[in-house]
Amino acid sequence: MPTYMTLIRWTQKGVESIKEGPSRLDMAKQAFKAMGAELKEMYLVMGQYDMVVIGEVPDDETAAKLSLAIGAQGNIRTETFRAFTEDEYRKIVAALP
C-alpha cells in the first residue's frame, strides 16, 4: 500500500484546544481505518510544522478524502506527500532508460 507523509500545522483553534489533541489523534486513527488505511506513525516536531504523520493509504483519492475530512474540523492545516520507500526508489531508478 502506498505511503503518504503529512506535515501538520495547528490552527489557532487547534492550539486553543490542544488538550483534546490526543483524542483527536485517536479519531484520526479511526478515520484512517474506516477508509482502509493505517496511520503508522505520528511525531510531534519543532520548527515550521507541529506534527508529522506517516500513513499507508490505498490511493491518492483516499489520501485526499482523509486530509479533507480531518482538516474540515478546523484544528489543523495539512500538506500531504506521496512517499516512496527505499525499495520503491530503487525500482524506479532501475527502470529509467
What domains are there in the chain, each with its CATH number?
3-94 (3.30.70.920)
Average pLDDT in the 46-71 region? 96
Which residue in 15, 54, 20 sits closest to 37, CA to CA? 54
Q: What is the mean pLDDT of residues 43-66?
A: 97
φ, ψ for residue 72, nearest 5 deg: -65, -15
Query: What's the chain look like in SS3?
Result: CCEEEEEEEECHHHHHCHHHHHHHHHHHHHHHHHCCCEEEEEEECCCCCCEEEEEECCCHHHHHHHHHHHHCCCCEEEEEEEECCHHHHHHHHHCCC
Q: What is the pLDDT of residue 27?
A: 94
pLDDT of residue 33: 97
For the chain, give the mean pLDDT: 96
pLDDT at residue 72, rounded to an integer = 95
- For 31, half-sphere exposure in the C-beta direction (CA atoms, 13 angstrom radius) is 19
What is the average pLDDT across 14-37? Answer: 96
Average of pLDDT values for 29-48? 97
Q: Model-level pTM greater than 0.75?
A: yes
pLDDT value at position 52? 98
- Beta carbons of 10 and 80 less than 8 angstroms apart: no
